[in-house]
Structure 1
Amino acid sequence: MSRQLSFCPQQEYELIEYPGRVVNTDRMLATLGGILNISKVLGDEKKRLELRFHPDNPYNKPAFGDCTDKSGVLLSVTVRRHKRDKSRPPQHFVRVLGHCSRSFSFESLCDFQYLPLWRTPKSESATAATELKYALDQLQPRDVSDVEYFSRPHPQLFCLPELFARVDVVHSGHYRMDGTDDGSHEVLGVLAKSTYDNHDVVSFNMQDTFPTQPDGQVHKRLKVKYVSDEQFARVKKLFDEIPIWTRVALLYESGITNEKLKCIIPSLAFYFSNGPWRTMYVRYGYDPRKDFKSRYYQTFDFRLRFGSGVSEFVYSRKSAKQKRSSTTANDDVKSELVQNIDYPYFDGQKLPRSRQCMLRYCDVRLPKIQEMLEKIPTPLTGAVCNERTGWLPPSFDSQLRQIVCAMISELLRNHYRKEHLTAEVEAVPQADGEAEAEADADAEAEAEAEDEEYYIEDEETQEEDMDVDETPIAENIVDKNIEQLLNNITN
């Protein structure tokens, strides 16, 4: 047996893996939409090739072929056999006709195919058998001039679904039955994914022990995420000074990015999902149940009601970050009254950074609250903290909320009073402009005959009269308006 290989000028072809046995090439091209449609699909990299098994039937959905990168070579093999001497081996001549770089394959699911078939009786008798008849001509006009279509009777209905199948891709989803859960514990909880940013999520209780060291794979992730030694030492120093932190406070004090901090925290601290130190990061080896000083680091969950006086200034954390990127002149005025979204403390000088703030009690820098924390009596020897309130009395958090709400009400009251008085001062010169012009003309006429000290005393007297007569009235009006705005906050 001999083989001969010959090369032709390289020509590029398009490969279409047709899902069927091709007997008639013209009918095969008709199912693909014709040469014109095939050329349009081949000229666009994003289009899918449509395959209609019934090209003349509009009531079916095509099967789609996807384009994939696939290299191939088109070969022409010719076999020659000796007619007289059958024992001689055949000769093979192989020619390379061209190559292809992509292929269209129909690997998606085939959707439902609907045919316009009506059952009609073979004869006029009632017991006659029925046969299926192709009724496409009765369902749609033959051409534009077919006016009789509108008066043609339709003996049967042809109902199609409103929507075909939504997808044509095979999904490898499997339903798994968990036999360990018998349904007796119907408790909703937070599903925490086991990833590097929340590896040690601990549920607070009074029996179990807390983690003392991180997982061995955590330090390897630090090298993968390119965390420098200086950044790691900066966060470690914060945990050495204070054992419990919030994420916002760590970002503010360390000055590193959030992505780097998510890699560093699992190697230094674990996370409480509930309990008195909920949403806090606690240093490995530190047990807040045994340290009375950990009361300063308990969670203070402060939330502002959506009252008419607060919603104008304070937003949710997500909305506040979006507004920070696109600020206007009016937003600049509001930002002077509201704390920065990245500031982790509350000092009473500005409104809280968002409508819900997760703070430590030591982050509320109000002298009255810190004094209340100091005056909590030291527990007796052997005493343990409460599973819900920690080392604090039961009503301690509600008292603190009343103090913070009163502070916020005072801030808003001062802001509205200042805004109202500023508007009145700007309106007075415009209303009394003509009266002041006449008063200036009379003063110039009498200036030569009067003593200079008389006018000085007279101006001082006028200022004193204005303070006595007008100011209390304006303050009373402002206080009534402000009290009406702050009812939702103080209640």
Structure 2
Amino acid sequence: MSRQLSFSPRQEYELIEYPGRVVNTERMLSTLGGIINVSKVLGDEQRRLELRFHPSNPYNKPAFGDGVDKCGVLISITVRRHKRDKSRPPQHFVRVLGHCSRSFCFESLCDFQFLPLWHTPKSDDALAATELIYALEHVQPRDVTDLGYFKRTQSQLLCLPELFARVDIVYGGNYRIDNTDDGQHDVLGVLAKSNYENHDVVSFNMVETFPTHPDAQILKRLKVKYVSDEQFARVKKLFEENPIWTRIALLYESGVSNEKLKCIIPSLAFYFSNGPWRSLYVRYGYDPRKDFKSRYYQTFDFRLRFGSGVSEFVYSRKSAKQKKATAPDEAKSELVQDIDYPYFNEHKLPRSRQCMLRYCDVHLLKIQEMLEKLPTPLTGAVCNEKTGWLPPSFDSQVRQIVCVTISELLRNHYRKEHLTAEVEAVLPHDADLEEDEYYADAEPQDEEMDLDETPVTESFVDKNIEQLLNNMTS
């Protein structure tokens, strides 16, 4: 008997990969808790599908099926064969019945089953063979009205394990066989906690609202850490002056220690994990998406990608702090900005190879003029989710200006060093001369020097400087 099926490619189905050969559909559904329980699980994206191989037995651990995203198509294939002429090839008709976007896979352990089986002798003889009987009715009552359960005597005890298994997913262990490393020098450490575990971390978007006040637990933690009113007032005043700050700028301007500042900041500002104001602290209640002046406080991520021209001066932040604590170099400190200075000036190199700055922290007149000359957006305009209130190529232009400033600073530094070396090579170095005689002899030598050689020396210096700076990129 043929039956016509209604189909539609847009019909959506749910796929359950049942770990067994299904002979009776009703019994299969009973192992899954019935059609009602299956419908509840399919309607909830977080629930897991339970599979009990013995639905009537409460003493077994179910196998759980997790819902995973999996695309599939349900296809119906009909094969028609000619009844009289067997030599004719069969005809196949393919129809698409629907599709599925989720599947329930049973990949957990399913061998933890406990059945209430009792060993009972077949006869009254003590030496007779025993048989296993299903003693569920001796262990628990059949229903609420089964009063005879309390009169039955249990010949055997049913001891169930407290826990079948700690995990229901098998993890394969890959062990490395290495005879050279015996593990004697391994150090077991504690996982480093995140620096932002106590902060209100916010992901930048154009739809949701930003926090307007801190959490109650943060204010409670502030009292426990013994932060003085003076320290709290200093940081609060900074956020009243400017709504967005970097952490290093707050340390520099407030003078509060890093440990105290970690407790104060979460009570005054939240932290942006991405977007135009990434890695900055924003005052509660301030929405930079609605204020065009917030363009001054957008994040400027500047990284040095120079060759040998800068690598001998500027280090990473961690290395710079170690070198400053152990052996500070006075010559380099005059050229490189202090590691704790939060701004960028045109007369010194950046404090580290990567600097997280605000655009207002870049103290270059040309860049500040560019920020001022940006046209005010029209009424109803919103900032961009990636570039904020700035044009798309604004950060590239600023980065190019900063790189040109740094290259000019290095060029002047190397020119000064080479010229000093040339002058020292010309001057006499006779230890027997007195100080007065030395300068007396040096003055006429300077007067007798050929002035035409000076441009040659400068061109030679410029040529060497260009070779040192040829690896510099923006």
Q: Provide TM-score, normalisation by structure 2.
A: 0.56
Instruction: Give SS of 2:344's match.
Output: coil
4+ runs of 1 displaced by more than 4 Å? 161-167, 191-194, 462-465
Shift of 1:470: 2.1
> Structure 2 vs 1, CA of residues 467 and 222 (structure 1 numbering), >3 Å: closer, same or farther?
farther
Residue of 462, 465, 472 corresponding to 2:455: 472
Find the aligned partners of 2:352 and 2:244 in 1 and give their Cα distance: 22
Instruction: Give SS of 2:324's match.
Output: helix
2:204 equivalent to 1:195: no
Shift of 1:490: 4.4
Instruction: Give SS of 2:311's match.
Output: coil
Residue of 385, 388, 391 corresponding to 1:390: 388
- Give per-residue Cα distances to partners, 1:176-228, cap 9 Å, x unaligned: xxxxxxxxxxxxxxx967732x2x10000000100000001112111211100
Find the aligned partners of 2:402 and 2:183 in 1 and give their Cα distance: 54
For the 8 Å contact 1:272–1:281, the answer to whether it is kept is yes
Find the aligned partners of 1:307 and 1:276 in 2 and give their Cα distance: 29
Matched letter for residue 477 of structure 1? F
For the 8 Å contact 2:343–2:357, the answer to whether it is kept is yes
> Structure 2 vs 1, CA of residues 224 and 377 (structure 1 numbering), >3 Å: closer, same or farther?
same
> Structure 2 vs 1, CA of residues 340 and 424 (structure 1 numbering), >3 Å: closer, same or farther?
same
For the 8 Å contact 1:271–1:282, the answer to whether it is kept is yes
Instruction: Give SS of 1:487's match.
Output: coil
The residue that corresponds to 1:429 in the other structure is: 427
The residue that corresponds to 1:43 in the other structure is: none
The residue that corresponds to 1:281 in the other structure is: 281
> Structure 2 vs 1, CA of residues 333 and 271 (structure 1 numbering), >3 Å: closer, same or farther?
same
The residue that corresponds to 1:400 in the other structure is: 398
> Structure 2 vs 1, CA of residues 413 and 163 (structure 1 numbering), >3 Å: closer, same or farther?
closer
Matched letter for residue 474 of structure 1? T
Mapping for residues 18-29 of structure 1, pairs under 5 Å: none
Instruction: Give SS of 1:217's match.
Output: helix
How large is the RMSD of aligned CA atoms in angstroms? 3.0
The residue that corresponds to 1:223 in the other structure is: 223
Find the aligned partners of 1:304 and 1:202 in 2 and give their Cα distance: 28
> Structure 2 vs 1, CA of residues 478 and 220 (structure 1 numbering), >3 Å: closer, same or farther?
same
The residue that corresponds to 2:360 in the other structure is: 362
Find the aligned partners of 1:166 and 1:293 in 2 and give their Cα distance: 57
Matched letter for residue 211 of structure 1? P
Matched letter for residue 314 of structure 2? V
Matched letter for residue 195 of structure 1? E
2:327 equivalent to 1:344: no
For the 8 Å contact 1:244–1:283, the answer to whether it is kept is yes
The residue that corresponds to 1:253 in the other structure is: 253
Mapping for residues 280-359 of structure 1, pairs under 5 Å: 280-327=280-327, 331-359=329-357
Find the aligned partners of 2:272 and 2:252 in 1 and give their Cα distance: 20
Q: Provide TM-score, normalisation by structure 1.
A: 0.54
2:250 equivalent to 1:266: no
> Structure 2 vs 1, CA of residues 346 and 467 (structure 1 numbering), >3 Å: closer, same or farther?
farther
- Give per-residue Cα distances to partners, 1:157-180, cap 9 Å, x unaligned: xxxx9699989xxxxxxxxxxxxx
The residue that corresponds to 2:150 in the other structure is: none
- Give per-residue Cα distances to partners, 1:288-318, cap 9 Å, x unaligned: 0000000000000000014110100000000
Matched letter for residue 269 of structure 2? A
Aligned residue pairs total 284
Matched letter for residue 472 of structure 1? P
For the 8 Å contact 1:298–1:361, the answer to whether it is kept is yes
Mapping for residues 208-219 of structure 1, pairs under 5 Å: 208-219=208-219
Instruction: Give SS of 1:489's match.
Output: coil
The residue that corresponds to 2:127 in the other structure is: none
Find the aligned partners of 1:293 and 1:467 in 2 and give their Cα distance: 58
The residue that corresponds to 1:481 in the other structure is: 464
Find the aligned partners of 2:471 and 2:183 in 1 and give their Cα distance: 49
2:418 equivalent to 1:420: yes
- Give per-residue Cα distances to partners, 1:403-459, cap 9 Å, x unaligned: 00000001100111111111111111238x79x99xx9xx99xxxxxxxxxxx9xx6
Find the aligned partners of 1:326 and 1:376 in 2 and give their Cα distance: 46
Find the aligned partners of 2:319 and 2:262 in 1 and give their Cα distance: 22
> Structure 2 vs 1, CA of residues 381 and 325 (structure 1 numbering), >3 Å: closer, same or farther?
same
Instruction: Give SS of 1:310's match.
Output: helix
For the 8 Å contact 1:345–1:363, the answer to whether it is kept is yes
Shift of 1:365: 0.6
Instruction: Give SS of 2:425's match.
Output: helix
> Structure 2 vs 1, CA of residues 475 and 162 (structure 1 numbering), >3 Å: closer, same or farther?
closer
Find the aligned partners of 1:472 and 1:204 in 2 and give their Cα distance: 56
For the 8 Å contact 1:409–1:490, the answer to whether it is kept is no
> Structure 2 vs 1, CA of residues 473 and 290 (structure 1 numbering), >3 Å: closer, same or farther?
same
Instruction: Give SS of 1:359's match.
Output: strand
> Structure 2 vs 1, CA of residues 470 and 257 (structure 1 numbering), >3 Å: closer, same or farther?
same
Instruction: Give SS of 2:472's match.
Output: helix
Find the aligned partners of 1:366 and 1:194 in 2 and give their Cα distance: 32
Shift of 1:468: 2.7
Instruction: Give SS of 2:335's match.
Output: coil
> Structure 2 vs 1, CA of residues 477 and 194 (structure 1 numbering), >3 Å: closer, same or farther?
closer
Shift of 1:332: 1.5
> Structure 2 vs 1, CA of residues 285 and 164 (structure 1 numbering), >3 Å: closer, same or farther?
closer
> Structure 2 vs 1, CA of residues 483 and 210 (structure 1 numbering), >3 Å: closer, same or farther?
same
Matched letter for residue 378 of structure 1? T
Find the aligned partners of 1:416 and 1:215 in 2 and give their Cα distance: 54
Unpaired stretches in structure 2, ≥5 consecutive residues: 1-177, 185-192
- What percentage of residue pairs aligned between the two structures are identical? 77
- Give per-residue Cα distances to partners, 1:362-387, cap 9 Å, x unaligned: 00010000000000000000000000
For the 8 Å contact 2:306–2:473, the answer to whether it is kept is no
Instruction: Give SS of 1:301's match.
Output: strand
For the 8 Å contact 1:406–1:490, the answer to whether it is kept is no
Matched letter for residue 218 of structure 1? I
Matched letter for residue 308 of structure 1? S
